[in-house]
């Protein structure tokens, strides 16, 4: 009996000990989670510290998120129509026509690039490429709106882009897909590519430089001297097998002042309106630095001393001195290095696609040949492509957060079919060891990101649109027949009515709307949706938009507001009456006040039909 009690007491003590260990461990894990959560928690009503701009990849747009919260703030449509924003939806929309004219209503955005002044972000513009259709777009950040799209001649597969530091004189755009050197498909000579230099202000392509093989990712030196690109097909092969034959491909360095001088001296051969410099005719313009085969990312350190080519097929990063263009080190970092970014303490962070890791390494130690240049590694989920530390592309990295842009999310979220979301992870890089803080999913497929401090950009964002020259003034709305089958409608909108709230046209008419949201308060958006006309316009306060449509089949069409704007939002609608061609009813000029009169069947006539 005594012995049994003793055993029971022992068992109870052991269990209590185990429970203590377990709860202790659990408590520690919980507090680590709480600490991580606190770092990315932005309380309701508070703002994030940074704007994050993520390229939308095959979504053709740019996603704007808050950092560190990861909250999605906006999608800026660029190369694809977005019905919700009334962007480029209708075939006659000028935005849509610009897309169609330059290469189609879809795009593949990879690299968002911010404008700089003195090597620091100035919050004016963001550029993004369309890999698929060889285009470059600019978003003005006071309105978060695409303001320019150009098709780049003589180039296919606009891939890497970069702003020429320190004052964004040009945006360089790399043509990834090789083409016949003279532009003639009948030319059997090896294919080449071009790097295009686009004036950041006028968005004109000023000149192009031919590069043998292809060109992938871009960056520029901090002093405006060089544009750097990686080449993975120095072989000038035309299939995958031949693109991986050489042991070394190249880092291309274009001397920008030398190229400008050659263009000014008339050395460019003009094709499709753009002077192209051929390196063999212009020695000194292009230097090729041999780097291990099939490199990918190229990144210049914030101090401008080095340019790094990430190895992709080689487990190394090649460090090149930007002044001498000589290789100074080639440290091993891990499997599948794709891109590199930087903090403000002399460390580089390289994404390892195959290892699914971010590796942190010390640049000076790697250059000096010290064995302990690897500082830390952290697992990411999964198969990381780009990574970007805040300010890592500028001369002033902040060294606080890093975003891992992972290609596969696998088990990280609730399954939503065989196709899973892309996964971004926010990593704290302020200490010696990296700390995983949080993740957030997005639609496909952000490739790259860039961050702007909120304190720089937020004060520049406009509250309402500046009044356009053709804006409709309240009280001066009109419906005017301008020809036998053309009508113009100048309409205003304000909570919670359209003026006019009805008008008539005839079958076969072409109607040109000029629509103005005359609200003067931030965030008071009104939509204008017209059933069965594939028409939706969303107008932020002060904005004006002009669009032309066909009247369509006879009928009564209610245009209505799509943005919930007031308690009378549902009542914010009006009628477009399309009379049959042979209607005997006199079509009225709305401003003249002669609305169509006549008895309404089943309703005692009281005069004017409203």
Binding site for ligand CUK (CB under 6 A): 110-111, 159, 217, 296, 338-339, 385-386, 447-448
Tell me the residue nearest to ligand CUK as measured from the CB: 385
Q: Which of 265-273, 316-324, 349-357, 565-573 is the region at the interface with ligand CUA (rule: CB under 6 A)?
A: 565-573
- Applying CB under 5 A, the residues found at the interface with Ca ion are 249, 293-294
Task: Name the DSSP letter for residue 484.
Answer: T
Residue 385 binds what, of ligand CUK, ligand CUA, Ca ion, none (CB under 5 to 8 Å, by partner type)? ligand CUK
Select 145 or 448, whichever has its Cβ closest to ligand CUK: 448
Q: For residues 229 and 162, give the distance between their C-alpha atoms in angstroms, rounded to a whole number.
A: 10
CB of 213 to Ca ion, least distance (A): 8
CB of 74 to Ca ion, least distance (A): 39
SS3 of residue 284 by DSSP: coil
Select 386 or 490, whichever has its Cβ closest to ligand CUK: 386
Q: For residues 75 and 53, give the distance between their C-alpha atoms in angstroms, rounded to a whole number.
A: 9
* 569 forms part of the interface with ligand CUA (CB under 6 A): yes
Q: For residues 475 and 491, give the distance between their C-alpha atoms in angstroms, rounded to a whole number.
A: 10
CB of 564 to ligand CUK, least distance (A): 38
The single residue among 561, 576, 577, 587 that binds ligand CUA, judged by CB under 6 A, is 561
The single residue among 78, 164, 250, 565 that binds ligand CUA, judged by CB under 6 A, is 565
What's the first-to-final CA gap in the chain, in angstroms? 99
Taking only Cα atoms into account, the Rg of the chain, rounded to an integer number of angstroms, comes to: 30
CB of 295 to ligand CUK, least distance (A): 11
Select 111 or 536, whichever has its Cβ closest to ligand CUK: 111
Residue 490 binds what, of ligand CUK, ligand CUA, Ca ion, none (CB under 5 to 8 Å, by partner type)? none
Q: For residues 128 and 438, give the distance between their C-alpha atoms in angstroms, rounded to a whole number.
A: 26
Task: Name the DSSP letter for residue 280.
Answer: G
The answer to whether 57 and 109 have CB atoms below 8 angstroms apart is yes
* 545 forms part of the interface with ligand CUA (CB under 6 A): no
Residue by residue, DSSP assigns 305-323 as SEEEEE-TTSSBEEEEETT
The secondary structure element, H or E, covering residue 17 is helix 2-40
The single residue among 287, 496, 534, 583 that binds ligand CUA, judged by CB under 6 A, is 496
CB of 526 to ligand CUA, least distance (A): 4
CA 433, 310, 57, 121 torsion: positive or negative?
positive
The burial class, CB within 10 Å (0-12 / 13-18 / 19+), for 305 is: middle
Select 389 or 565, whichever has its Cβ closest to ligand CUA: 565
Select 192 or 383, whichever has its Cβ closest to ligand CUK: 383
CB of 162 to ligand CUK, least distance (A): 11
Q: For residues 407 and 444, give the distance between their C-alpha atoms in angstroms, rounded to a whole number.
A: 9
Rounded to whole angstroms, the maximal C-alpha distance in the chain is 112
Residue 141 binds what, of ligand CUK, ligand CUA, Ca ion, none (CB under 5 to 8 Å, by partner type)? none
Residue 421 has a CB neighbour count (10 Å cut-off) of 17
The single residue among 61, 146, 442, 563 that binds ligand CUA, judged by CB under 6 A, is 563
Binding site for ligand CUA (CB under 6 A): 496, 526, 561, 563-565, 569, 572
């Amino acid at each position: 009996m005594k012995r049994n009690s003793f055993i029971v007491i022992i068992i109870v003590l052991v269990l209590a000990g185990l429970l203590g260990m377990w709860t202790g461990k659990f408590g520690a894990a919980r507090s680590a989670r709480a600490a991580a959560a606190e770092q990315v928690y932005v309380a309701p009503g508070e703002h994030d510290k940074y704007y994050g701009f993520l390229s939308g990849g095959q979504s053709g747009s740019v996603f704007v998120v808050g950092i560190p919260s990861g909250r999605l703030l906006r999608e800026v449509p660029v190369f694809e129509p977005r019905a919700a924003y009334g962007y480029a939806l209708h075939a006659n929309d000028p935005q849509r026509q610009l897309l169609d004219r330059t290469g189609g209503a879809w795009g593949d955005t990879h690299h968002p690039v911010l404008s700089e002044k003195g090597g620091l972000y100035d919050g004016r513009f963001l550029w993004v490429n369309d890999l698929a259709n060889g285009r470059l777009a600019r978003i003005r950040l006071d309105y978060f709106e695409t303001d320019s799209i150009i098709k780049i001649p003589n180039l296919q597969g606009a891939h890497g882009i970069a702003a020429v530091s320190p004052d964004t004189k040009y945006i360089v755009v790399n043509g990834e897909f090789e083409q016949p050197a003279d532009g003639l498909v009948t030319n059997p000579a090896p294919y080449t590519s071009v790097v295009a230099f686009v004036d950041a202000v006028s968005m004109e392509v000023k000149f192009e430089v031919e590069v043998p093989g292809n060109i992938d990712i871009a960056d520029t030196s901090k002093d405006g001297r060089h544009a750097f690109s990686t080449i993975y097909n120095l072989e000038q092969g035309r299939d995958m097998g031949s693109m991986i034959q050489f042991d070394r491909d190249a880092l291309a360095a274009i001397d920008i002042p030398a190229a400008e001088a050659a263009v000014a001296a008339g050395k460019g051969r003009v094709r499709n309106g753009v002077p192209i410099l051929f390196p063999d005719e212009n020695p000194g313009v292009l230097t090729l630095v041999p780097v291990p085969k099939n490199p990918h990312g190229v990144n210049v350190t914030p101090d401008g001393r080095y340019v790094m080519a990430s190895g992709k097929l080689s487990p190394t990063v090649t460090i090149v001195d930007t002044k001498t263009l000589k290789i100074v080190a080639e440290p091993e970092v891990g499997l599948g290095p794709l891109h590199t970014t930087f903090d403000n303490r002399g460390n580089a962070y390289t994404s390892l696609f195959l290892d699914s890791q971010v590796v942190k390494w010390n640049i000076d130690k790697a250059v000096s040949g010290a064995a302990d240049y690897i500082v830390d590694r952290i697992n990411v989920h999964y198969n990381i492509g780009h990574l970007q530390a805040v300010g890592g592309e500028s001369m002033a990295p902040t060294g606080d957060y890093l975003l891992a842009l992972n290609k596969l999310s696998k088990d990280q979220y609730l399954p939503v079919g065989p196709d899973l979301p892309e996964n971004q992870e926010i990593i704290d890089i302020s200490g010696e060891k990296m700390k995983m803080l949080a993740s957030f999913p997005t639609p496909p497929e952000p490739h790259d990101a860039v961050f702007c401090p909120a304190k720089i950009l937020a004060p520049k964002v406009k509250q309402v649109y500046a009044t356009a020259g053709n804006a409709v003034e309240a009280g001066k709305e009109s419906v005017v027949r301008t020809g036998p089958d053309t009508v113009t409608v100048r309409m205003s909108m304000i909570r919670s009515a359209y003026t006019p709230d009805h008008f008539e046209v005839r079958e076969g008419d072409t109607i040109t709307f000029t629509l103005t949201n005359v609200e003067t308060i931030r965030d008071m958006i009104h939509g204008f949706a017209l059933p069965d006309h594939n028409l939706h316009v969303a107008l932020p306060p002060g904005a004006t938009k002009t669009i032309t449509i066909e009247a369509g089949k006879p009928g009564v069409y209610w245009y209505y507001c799509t943005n919930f704007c007031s308690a009378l939002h549902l009542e914010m609608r009006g009628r477009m009456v399309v009379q049959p061609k042979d209607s005997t009813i006199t079509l009225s000029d709305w401003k003249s006040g002669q609305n169509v009169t006549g008895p309404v069947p089943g309703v005692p006539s009281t005069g004017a039909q409203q």
